[in-house]
Amino acid sequence: MNFEQVELEVVDGIATLSLNRPDKRNAMSDQMRSEFIEAMEYVAIETSIKALVLTGKGKGFCAGGDISGMEKRLTAPVGELAINGWRRQLRVHHAVALLFEIPKPTIAAVNGPASGLGADTALACDFIVACDEANFTWSYIHRGIIPDGGGMYFLPRRVGLVRAKELIFSGRKVECKEAAELGIVDRVSTLDRLVADAQEWAKELSQGSAAALALSKTILNQSFETNAHQVFASGAQAQGICYTTTEHRSAVESFLQKAAEAKKNK
């Protein structure tokens, strides 16, 4: 797959997707979003890929939405502004949903500033590893807009409702140390080890049954919006599927064989 504004590399079952506009601090252009969506769709369906690491090239993770797109909106005819904005939002939300719902472990390796849409994109991953140079800011308020990349959904689940309001209303910068204390960041690494550490963690997280991981993630992602009985019902259906998988049968057979050998050697 050939891309210009993202790079996709797969090694030992771990995909590393790098945002690749370092001169623009990896601001998300329309082209980058299209390439991001194409890459994510490939990662989601390619069975040899077990997990995903998302990072940025250069000194920044992602500076948010491309300012040139905002400038273009200012000159659009009034009669087209709302519908064009709506269409753009559909693309934004499609990209974020792909990342959030991909049935494999995902880790954001935040190598520098993650601003606005960039901060939201990191939050859409299952886990966040950041280096000391990283910082986060939900700076939408400074542009007269609201978080549109999932931040109003993801951030309260990370830090609680009151803290999420404070960060979104103020648009202030959160340095790496505070981000770790608040629970925005799960692990801290050094810049030179960041991606390697994220890849190693991704390997650890993806050693188990791919089916069990996918089903568990899907149910967990919905658990805050569903009641206990709905989670139990979804779990029952998922477990029924797990019973039929090769991984489950092999694991049970291996356990029984070891138990029999242990009993025989007593």
- Residue numbers of the chain with a pLDDT score lower than 70: 69-74
Q: What is the pTM of this model?
A: 0.93
Q: What was the pLDDT predicted at 70?
A: 65
Phi/psi class of residue 187: alpha, beta or left (left: φ > 0; alpha: ψ in -120 to 50)?
A: beta
Strand order in the sheet with 14-19: 6-11, 14-19, 51-56, 106-110, 127-131, 187-189
Q: Which residues are catalytic?
A: 93, 148
Q: What was the pLDDT predicted at 41?
A: 97
The tokens for 208 are: 């188990």
Q: At what angle do helices 161-170 and 151-159 cross, to 10 degrees?
A: 130
Query: Closest Cα to residue 136, out of 152, 156, 153, 115?
Result: 115
Give the E-state strand segments of the chain in sequence order: 6-11, 14-19, 51-56, 106-110, 113-115, 127-131, 135-137, 173-175, 187-189
Q: Reduced to 3 states, what is the DSSP secondary structure of residue 51?
A: strand
Tens-digit pLDDT profile for residues 117-155: 999 999 999 999 999 999 999 999 999 999 999 999 999
DSSP lists the bridge partners of residue 10 as 15
Q: What was the pLDDT predicted at 125?
A: 98
Q: What was the pLDDT predicted at 164?
A: 98
* Residue showing tokens 């601001």: 27
Query: Closest Cα to residue 176, out of 226, 112, 94?
Result: 112
Q: Which residues contact 237 (CB under 8 A, 6 or more apart)?
A: none
Q: What was the pLDDT predicted at 69?
A: 66
* Residue showing tokens 């790496």: 176
261 burial type by CB count under 10 A (0-12 exposed, 13-18 middle, 19+ buried): exposed
Q: Reduced to 3 states, what is the DSSP secondary structure of residue 15?
A: strand
Q: How far apart are CA 36 and CA 147, in angstroms?
A: 19
Q: What was the pLDDT predicted at 72?
A: 67
Q: How far apart are CA 11 and CA 199, in angstroms?
A: 9
